Amino acid sequence: MFTANTITSLGTAAQSAVLIESTIYVYGGEGDNGPISNLYTLDVSLPWETSSPPWYDRTSDAGTFTVPQVKSHAMWPSLDSNFFYIWGGSNEGEDSTKQAQNGFAQYNVVTRNWSLPSAIANMPQQRSDLTVAWNSSGFAHIWGGWSTILSGSRFMNF
């Protein structure tokens, strides 16, 4: 069994979230000094007071893996609900570097480990403010978004 301390989640903007089974996973966003790589969970199967939900900080699950620091990114669950994926987003800020695999990473919700998924041929450029929809066959469809300073014109819409 894994344990974690209940925390008061720091306020952020432009983060993404996904519900897998009975847990909400909230990742990334805009912190005080730019994009962040924080991961928080909330088990919605247990009762809690709306004034103090029991958020758990899972940021340390990354260990030595370099998790993308992004905001305005896409996030979706795997077909078997064992993983969630993040892709794209903006990492413009104090640590603006091109993300590995354009910010594509996966988190195993069972083992609580991060990794890079297999590389995809012709992976699209990293972009922010995009939308993702997934279907019952396990396909994720990414639509729209804005290129970033690291991928081209800041004003180009896909």
CATH number at residue 125: 2.120.10.80
Residue 106 located in a structural domain: yes
Residue 38 located in a structural domain: yes
Residue 37 located in a structural domain: yes
Residue 9 located in a structural domain: no
Q: Is 143 exposed, middle or buried (0-12, 13-18, 19+ CB in 10 A)?
A: exposed
Task: Give pLDDT tens digits for 16-59.
Answer: 999 999 999 999 999 888 888 999 999 999 999 988 899 999 99
Query: How many angstroms separate the CA atoms of 150 and 30, rounded?
Result: 17
Query: How many angstroms separate the CA atoms of 136 and 30, rounded?
Result: 31
Q: Please indicate whether residue 62 or residue 12 has the higher confidence score (pLDDT).
A: 62
Domain of 63, in residue numbers: 16-143
Domains of the chain: total: 1
Residue 2 located in a structural domain: no
